[in-house]
Amino acid sequence: MNRPLVAITGATGFVGSNVIEYLATKYEVMALVRSKPADNFPYQHHQVDFQSQDSLSKSFAQLKPDVVLHLAISNEFNKLFADPVFAEDAYIGMTKRVLAASESIDAHFVYISTDWVFSGVSHMVAEDTAPDPVNIYGELKSGSEEVVKASTKRWAICRIGGVMGSHRLLPNMPRSQDVGFGYFVASIVDALSAGQEFLVWQGDGVNEIATVSLASEIAASLARVIDQEATGIFHLVGSEAITKRDLAHAVCDVFNLDANLLKFGPAPSSEKFPQPVPKDSSLDSTKTRSTLGLEFTSPRVLLAAFKTERETGRLSPLS
């Protein structure tokens, strides 16, 4: 029996590189790319024009994927603020086009969203809570969610947040702490392993509380969504909320690093997001875990899995 074909947008990105590597062990995978990847790109790929409905529809008619995972976004955040037309098309417009192409072949459409669709004033927000974003990124992701919810075909919205992990295609790509949780753990490990002090940003303009996750565990959870042909809204995050301060200390414990090198203080003004960010972006995943059959995953368990990945070079999801 042929394995399902999963087409993935954003497969060359941080989370996407983990997703495609894991899913390639279970399904046929196809990376949908804007431009030709490097010659050593290890997966099948198909070049499409994401701004063209015709290009997407023709490609999907040719490929006939069983599942479409839409992870692609624009990382040009300065341009999002400067050019609202570009911003809406890069998120909501692209989601509309990819979804329409998916609907035309009756594929299972899975959209990857974010914990930043919420304002951060509530703790452990459930899957059925209405989004209330406070910045343009959250608004664009929330708007894309609304596009997906309006579909009459099979769809799933999977929110993620606080993602730990390493870029699987560009392992040496320099990334550092930002006002969210992305690359936060890897940045601490890199700095403290080199004997350098690390300033953990706190206070105004910083996302201080989240339900952290691991990129490979997100991939394994997505496989559950695919296998079960699950529909609805899912929170693919860890089971417990944690502050940045507590997470930083947990990193030191799990990775055997010197916690005395940790410092705490405000983020530099130059590094702050130009709009508010959710202080508490924690998501309740109780319903998701029950539906998909996922185990309880604490921050320390996820940290231990990430440590194994760094030591072995192999993905180490828990599910």
**b/e per residue 143-153 (b: at least 16 CB within 10 A):** bbbebbeeeeb
Coil/strand/helix, residue 260: helix
Would you give per-residue pLDDT tens digits along the chain (319 residues)?
589 999 999 999 999 999 999 999 999 999 999 998 888 899 999 999 999 999 999 999 999 999 999 999 987 878 888 899 999 999 999 999 999 999 999 999 999 999 999 999 999 999 999 999 999 999 999 999 999 999 999 999 999 999 999 999 987 776 789 999 988 999 999 999 999 999 999 999 999 999 999 999 999 999 999 999 999 999 999 999 999 999 999 999 999 999 999 999 999 999 999 999 999 999 999 999 999 999 999 999 999 999 999 999 999 999 9
Q: What is the CATH number of domain 5-166+212-237+282-296?
A: 3.40.50.720
Q: Where are the domains of the chain?
A: 5-166+212-237+282-296
Contact 234, 286 (CB under 8 A): no
SS3 at position 111: strand
Query: pTM of the entire structure?
Result: 0.97
